[in-house]
Structure 1
Amino acid sequence: MTGDWLDVGALEDIPLRGARTVPVEGGDEIAVFRTGANRVYALVNKCPHKKGPLSQGIVHGDSVACPLHNWVISLSTGEAQGADVGCTPTIPVQVLSGRVMICRESTLRQAA
């Protein structure tokens, strides 16, 4: 991956099967998720259904259930699962030396 990376904190600061949020000046808030298997994903913090805060949902496997209407969103693709249709933008993320990095360029594109 190329691009400018933004350090959003230590991996250990994100609870297992949980999330934390990252504000983006002039853009949509980003939710950074950590699964029970210690995988990390980042999505725009809005469900494609009614814009519910995905960061407040329940993480199970590589998905999150929206707290408003229980839509299940894939953390890897942002796609709604099952019969639901819609997509939440994903943000490239990587972990380097225990620090979580998100692609700054992608967060700026989301703001446009």
Structure 2
Amino acid sequence: MQNYYVIAEKDLTPSEPHSSAWPKIIGYNPIYREFLFMEGKGHGLMGGEVSQDSASLAKWQDIFVELNAEWFLDFLNLNTFSDENDFLNKLIDVIGQPRTIAY
């Protein structure tokens, strides 16, 4: 099990208990350089982990657009991080204290 920092999330159907489309969440683990993508809730929940360097990351471009999170890919490309604390401090400067998800 790994911890992911939630960098973007949105729920357009908060009253639906088993939506397969919402909420959408993007998490990131700087130690393993992996994304966590989750969509839906209840019986509709699905998600997966994708390496930052994976070619399949392009398949998830729509979720970055839907959550206005394209900035995060630039954030990763324009910064270097000495460790997890350095990553977290730079992220906090941009979005405030993120919540974490264990997956």
Both proteins in one fold, TM over 0.5: no
- From the CA coordinates, give the structure whose radius of gyration is larger: 2
So what's the TM-score if we normalise by structure 1? 0.30
Between Structure 1 and Structure 2, the one with more strand by share is: 1
Which structure shows the bigger proportion of residues in helix conformation? 2
